[in-house]
Amino acid sequence: MKKLSLTFIFTAVLIIGLTIWLKPFGIFSEASKQQIKVVHDRPKESGSVVNRIAGFPVLKSKQAEIETIQNRQRNNQQGIEPTRIEIPAIQAKAAVKTVGEAKNGEMEVPANTVETGWYSPGTHPGSNGNAVIAGHVDSKKGPAVFFYLKELQPGDNIYLYDKNKRKLTFTVRTKKKLFSRKSSSI
């Protein structure tokens, strides 16, 4: 108990001493309280501001470059109409056919088991939302295009291409089993 009291007294004296010596409530001297002059760097290029992006001025001479970048971003947000899929980790390469809805309201499925189908009434791959590409796992003759899909691991890439050979890269982040093979809708 005596040691605890001595430790407490020593700590209190130390804190009071440091407070007096460092003057924490008056740390700024009169010289440091002077106004600071703010100097903004201005571009050396002369020109008038014609646009503002996220609050930043855009010079007239840079407007065309900005519009090119914005158009490229807009095109990327529209996504692609896929024509080919490649999944190197499972050595899968297949054509992607455009499919819609069957008469019963379900998604159409490609008849050929080595092809995949992109659900075109849905989202385009690469745009906001979830795009659906379906393929068979097997057939009466054996494995089909997505037979080894279950072997994918986080970090594996999936590549989609459109007719202009524009490429989108998707990376597997997680792996989940949504339903058993016996409860498959097809």
Interval 5-33 mean pLDDT: 67
User: Into which CATH architecture does domain 76-177 fall?
Assistant: Beta Barrel (2.40)
* Contacts of residue 108, Cβ cutoff 8 Å, sequence gap at least 6: 99, 100, 101, 102, 117
* pLDDT greater than 60 at residue 166: yes
Strand bridging mode 56-59 / 49-53? antiparallel
Under the banding of pLDDT at 50, 70 and 90, the label for residue 40 is very low
Kindly report, residue by residue over 97-125, the tens digit of the pLDDT.
999 998 998 899 898 999 999 999 988 99
- The residue among 56 and 86 whose pLDDT is bigger is 86
Does the pTM exceed 0.85?
no
Question: What is the mean pLDDT of the segment spanning 132-148?
Answer: 92
Least confident residue range of 9-13, 26-30, 53-57, 90-94: 26-30
The domain limits of the chain are 76-177
User: Per residue in 40-76, is it b (16+ CB within 10 Å) or e — as a string?
Assistant: eeeeeeeeeeeeeeeeeebbeeeeeeeeeeeeeeeee
pLDDT reading at 169 higher than 80? yes
Question: Mind listing the pLDDT tens digit for each residue in 174-186?
Answer: 988 776 666 555 5
When pLDDT is averaged across residues 53-73 and rounded to a whole number, the result is: 73
Tokens 């010079």 identify what position? 59
Residue 67: what pLDDT? Answer: 80
Q: Which of 64-68, 123-127, 157-161 has the lowest mean pLDDT?
A: 64-68
Looking at residue 68, what is its pLDDT?
Answer: 81
